[in-house]
Structure 1
């Protein structure tokens, strides 16, 4: 493999790996903040105690995930200088600004206040302590915004001009400068979609973990006997602690799902205008069509989705839906891959010169197979959350004394299976976003195409051996971190929440405190 291929594999692998932790941190910080708010505002002592313990329980997992996310994120950024030095040289004056804001304004905000939240239990005033976790949630969300703004510049460059003397993209005050970068229409569309995806990840996580413990306590209560003190304690734990947590996660899933649909629809319409080649590839739309159909299942022939669409066969389609998704009209005309390719060649050239000075035939089509199926995986994997949400609502239906819990082991294991699905859906979405814009590392803005860069022009001009060496190092480091993360998260999730014990002498409940010590 050439250095370009290895560099792309390395950046793709490390980015997807790092992003496994990011959405859980973004979403879980908000959900934990809401849990603590509910606890603080509760006047009922039992409810207040339950939500406080839930806050600490899920907060312990937030801490583990946050720490591993920092480690993977810091290491991952080194690749800009190692493997993509020409890209960094070309766009560094623009790309560096939102990254600096992310580090200074957001990352330090969340880190500092997370520390105050961890060590402030019982030391800070209750309202001040609550404010610290809300600042963490604000910081993680702000971090996402600045990162999305940086990425959106690569998808749709604005606020910058090409300096012909230096050959670099530079912020241009006449075009809005940094403000235009931060208010890029692509950013404003992508950010709600990214955050909603993070909420879905965290909501599914909370629901899955709560479902696991609810079923276990429900079954233990029936096994021991509801008339015994211990059996009644397990039943209370299922009803007053984990059932509310499960339903809280379900509500969050519904809100996240609605936000994903609305933001995804808006983002899709924008992408059809800004990157028609990406969206045509996402639908395996090879030929220009009026009233384009939405592909449910498309297969490839002997060449398995050749980029020239020669072997693509549409098996199952929904008439006119792709045109509706693009323009909200069923009869709009959408360009196909085979028509867009010669247009790009005419506009940007039939050949491209790479960093080594070699000339290649310019192919402006992304990998059709990856683009098509990553788009469908993004949507399909999120369906597990919908099944989990409706199932959870059904088996926990009822209010007050009629509120139900469940001992279904089938539901318990499905809830665990559903936890990683939003993680994978988020990763598939980013694979679609990044692979779909190939061969561009900075996609030309249709309204101002002067700032653009192809991927093979952004790679560092060194050999394959250097990239292989760094890839091996990344693999070792990330492998160790993966084992560490899974072990700590599994331990924290299985630990559960201790059951309050009644003192036989005083008859008062002794509520165990949860520790953040790992």
Structure 2
């Protein structure tokens, strides 16, 4: 492999691995705020126990997320020197804002969140939990803003020429509110809320299947199911709005997402299929004129296709973009169906009698994670061959002095270290889940009042 391909693989690997954890932190942060708010309102100890239990898991995901995110900043300088010079002014502003508005907020309240139990009043602890949650959301803002600027650059001018060219901000707020940032940020937030909600659903579904912590798990499951149902429906609306933005700002990406080749013609909507880029054909199940209808409510509206662009300006892996996009859509629709059906059963009072459905929720923890990953793959691969859309090609952005062997060596090391970290994460997560919200002793499900008493007294 050449240097560019290896550099792209290495960055994709580190980003994909890192992106396991921040969505969980954001999503769990929301659930922690809900659990603590309910405790402060009702003074039911079950909510207090849930908040403490999920705070321990939040701390685990937050810690590993921070560690794995640091590597990417070094990769900018080592593997993507031309890119770093080009976007340094933009990324520097966004990352500085992240440090001021996000990390400062998170770090200021994180200690109280983790170690303030029974040391500060309940309302103070809730304020600290809200602070950490908002800090994680603000952090996502600036990362998404920086990435969205690569998709739809705004508020800048170019200084210098050739390899010395760089983008310099002329309007900070135009850079922040570039044409795709708001839509993409909402999409990322909603995906994070779903990741956190389905982790809670998975763990408490497992408890219910095993007959452990039944009462407290029913409470947690009901709350998380409400969160998951609301945000899965909201994600459908967000996805539609994002697709409209892509159609306007990055038509080549949308054409790749739906395998639409004709330069200007009504476009079909594929439920699933396979793209042959050589023959420029798609085989699969489609809704004739479906994409045109979604964009303009008219099945005959022309949509710009890949033939409208020179081959050098088209995404290189059209079928991969198509498949990743449709996996994301398929999972999104599956989550909507699963949560709506389960919510209906919950209000009928029969959900917890269906052990098969609880087993589905145990496994469904993977679905939002997969959707988040393939969504990013779609966005990044669909932007190719540009690293900054329409301005800087990926082939021109990597470091000129780093060799393929050096990148391959570091990639292998990263793979080994990240694999060890992932195994450690799973081990610690499994240990915390097996331990549960409180000690069990030798009984399967002791009375809740007795367990609460033991937590309070420390016996």
Shift of 1:365: 3.1
**2:450 equivalent to 1:513:** no
Alignment-derived partner of residue 423 in structure 2 = 483
CA contact (8 A) 1:341 1:365 kept: no
Q: Identify unmatched segments of 5+ residues in structure 2.
A: 442-448
In the TM superposition, what are the counterparts of 1:251-400 in structure 2 within 5 Å? 251-300=226-275, 305-306=276-277, 309-310=278-279, 312-341=281-310, 362-398=312-348
Structure 2 partner of 1:108: 104
- Deviation (angstroms), 1:284: 0.6
Deviates more, 1:316-325 or 1:102-111: 102-111
Structure 1 contact 39–49 (Cα < 8 Å) conserved: yes
Give the 3 Å change call, closer, same or farther, for CA 438–514 of structure 1 in structure 2: farther
> Could you give the per-residue CA deviations for residues 27-67 of structure 1, whole angstroms, max 9, x where no partner exists?
11111111101011005xxxx11111111111111110000
Scaled by the length of structure 2, the TM-score of the pair is 0.92
Query: What SS does structure 2 have at the residue aligned with 1:123?
Result: coil
Check whether the contact 1:281–1:366 (CA below 8 A) recurs between aligned residues: no
Larger Rg: 1
Structure 1 match to 2:85: 89
- Equivalent-residue separation in structure 2 for 1:281 and 1:7 (angstroms): 23
1:220 counterpart residue number: none
Alignment of 1:1-40 (within 5 A): 1-40=1-40
Q: Measure how far apart 1:366 and its partner are.
A: 3.0
Post-superposition offset of 1:167: 1.6
Alpha-carbon distance, 1:206 to partner? 1.1
Q: Deviations over 1:132-178 (max 9, x none)?
A: 00001100000001100000110011011011355211112xxxx21
Query: Does the CA contact (< 8 Å) of 2:226 and 2:343 recur in 1?
Result: no
1:460, 1:155 → 2: CA distance?
21
Give me the CA root mean square deviation. Answer: 2.2
The structure whose residues are more often helix, as a share, is: 2
Distance 1:159 1:393 in 2: 45
Q: Following TM superposition, by how much is the alpha carbon of 1:257 offset from its aligned partner in structure 2, in angstroms?
A: 1.2
C-alpha distance in 1 between matches for 2:452 and 2:236: 46
Question: Of 365, 384, 395, which aligns to 1:419?
Answer: 365
Aligned to 2:382: 436
Query: C-alpha displacement at 1:382, in angstroms?
Result: 3.0
Shift of 1:291: 2.9
Relative distance call for 1:117 and 1:313 in structure 2 (3 A) is closer
Whether the aligned pair in 2 keeps the contact of 1:388 and 1:414 (CA below 8 Å) is no
Match of 1:167 in 2: 165
Task: Give the direction of change, closer, same or farther, for the CA distance of 1:431–1:514 in structure 2 (3 Å limit).
Answer: farther
Equivalent-residue separation in structure 2 for 1:265 and 1:313 (angstroms): 22
| 1:464 aligns with one of 404, 409, 414 | 404
TM-score when normalising by structure 1:
0.82
Unpaired segments ≥5 residues, structure 1: 218-233, 343-361, 445-451, 502-506
**Alpha-carbon contact 1:500-1:510 (below 8 Å) kept:** no
SS in 2 for 1:169: strand
Determine the C-alpha separation between the residues in 2 that align with 1:514 and 1:9. 50
- 1:513 is paired with a residue whose SS is helix
Q: Which of residues 224, 234, 240 in structure 2 aligns to 1:249?
A: 224
Structure 1 position 455 matched with structure 2 position 394: yes
Cα distance in 2, alignment partners of residues 99 and 194 from structure 1:
18
